[in-house]
Amino acid sequence: MRINPILEKDLKTKLRGWRSTILICCYVILLIGILFLYFASNNIFNPYNTHNFNPRMAMDAYNLIITFQFALLFLAVPAITATSVSSERERQTLDLMLVTKTPVRKIIVGKIMVSLAHTMLLLIASMPVIGVVFFFGGIGFLDIIKLLLFYVLTSFFVASCGVFFSTVFKRNIVAIITTYIFLGLITFGPFILFLVLGLVRERYSYTGFSPVYRDFVSALFPSSVFGFTSFYISGSSYSMYYGYYSPGIFSEVAQEIEQQRMASTGLWKLLHPWLANGLFNVVASISLIFLSARILNPIHRKK
Q: Closest Cα to residue 228, out of 73, 56, 112?
A: 73
Give the pLDDT of the chain (303 residues) as one tens digit per residue. Answer: 577 777 777 777 766 767 778 888 888 898 888 888 877 776 655 555 555 556 667 777 888 888 888 998 898 888 888 888 887 777 777 777 777 777 888 888 888 888 888 888 888 888 888 777 767 666 777 888 898 899 999 999 999 999 999 898 888 899 899 999 999 999 999 999 988 888 887 777 666 667 888 889 999 999 999 999 888 876 544 444 434 444 567 777 888 888 888 888 888 888 999 999 999 999 999 999 999 888 887 665 544
Q: Per the structure, how many domains does the chain have? A: 1
Q: Round to whole Å and give the CA distance between 9 and 100.
A: 14
State the virtual CA torsion across 218, 157, 176, 70 in degrees, nearest 10: 80
Q: Do 165 and 80 contact (CB within 8 A), yes or no?
A: no
DSSP type of residue 45: S
Exposure string for 168-189, b = 16+ CB within 10 A, e = fewer:
bbeebeebbebbbebbeebbee
Residue 34's domain comprises 5-302
